[in-house]
Amino acid sequence: MNNPKIEPIEIDLLLEAVFRRYGHDFRSYARASIERRIRQFMAGTGCASVSEMIPKVLNDKEFFSRLARYFSIAVTEMFRDPFVYRALREKVVPLLRTWPHFKIWHSGCATGEEVYSLAILLKEEGVYERTTVYATDFNDEALERARAGIYEVSKIKEASRNYQQAGGKASFSEYYHARYDAAAMDGSLKERITFANHNLAADEAFGEMHLVFCRNVLIYFNRELQNRALGLFTESLVHGGFLCLGSKEDIQFSSVSNRYKVVDGKAKIYKKKDTP
């Protein structure tokens, strides 16, 4: 059993080593989750303490890559929280429609399940041709999988159920092609999506967005980094643009709370005010 008083210091030093050596900044991540991941990773390394991992991280790039993969494991699902998609359909799309062309930034898209969900929703509402969706993540491996859009069949079952609850207008089977035990998302869903690497801990805003969609990403950040990310979103959004966060994420105590009004409190959909 590691000393619970020393371990937090060791974790600080490990994250500092990762940042100074490789430039990846996990120092502002919420601690409990990242500690859990470090401990899980450590179990497979033969290291007896977090300290023992520090020289390995500094000297062995392959060791670091394996650790970094642990830090960026992304878990997501299609139409996660169906009521959110229903709220987008009913409360956001009617206003997006009023713009001749609109842009959506899906930040932290991970392996892409939710960006395809958005694409399906926009297609069914007849506005997909008028949109550009930027789907970003800091994890290149996840982005590759998002781009490929191929998922296990077990995920598709869950997705079909969620899709129906989200107010889907067709049959979910119209949107993928089953191949053995995998399902490939229909190519037409990718037409308006641009996948790109973007790191909320380091990169800048990109502008003129009408909807920023970022769900269950901020929960992994500490308050400071949350405020940085929310600042980027606010800077990126046009006046009257929408922000959609995870169901347990709230801007109430953040530095941008006064810049938004609530559109749907349960689905965590906010609208940027015209004047700050």
The nearer residue to another protein, 6 or 153, going by C-beta atoms, is: 6
Binding residues for another protein, rule: CB under 8 A, are: 1, 4, 7-8, 30-33, 35-37, 73, 75-76, 80, 82-83, 165, 216, 218-220, 223, 226, 246-250, 253
Burial 26-58 (b: 16+ CB within 10 A, else e): bbbbeeeebeebbeebbeeeebeebbebbebbb
Least separation in angstroms between residue 14's CB and another protein is 16
Least separation in angstroms between residue 218's CB and another protein is 7
The nearer residue to another protein, 104 or 218, going by C-beta atoms, is: 218
Least separation in angstroms between residue 210's CB and another protein is 26
The nearer residue to another protein, 209 or 245, going by C-beta atoms, is: 245
CA angle 89, 94, 96 (to 5 degrees): 100
The nearer residue to another protein, 5 or 275, going by C-beta atoms, is: 5
Least separation in angstroms between residue 226's CB and another protein is 8
Least separation in angstroms between residue 31's CB and another protein is 6
Rounded distance between C-alpha atoms, residue 91 and residue 73, angstroms? 32
Least separation in angstroms between residue 32's CB and another protein is 4
Rounded distance between C-alpha atoms, residue 111 and residue 137, angstroms? 9
The nearer residue to another protein, 73 or 196, going by C-beta atoms, is: 73
The nearer residue to another protein, 46 or 75, going by C-beta atoms, is: 75
Rounded distance between C-alpha atoms, residue 225 and residue 214, angstroms? 14
Distance (Å) of CA 140 to CA 21, 23, 113, 148: 19, 15, 15, 12
Least separation in angstroms between residue 136's CB and another protein is 18
The nearer residue to another protein, 132 or 222, going by C-beta atoms, is: 222
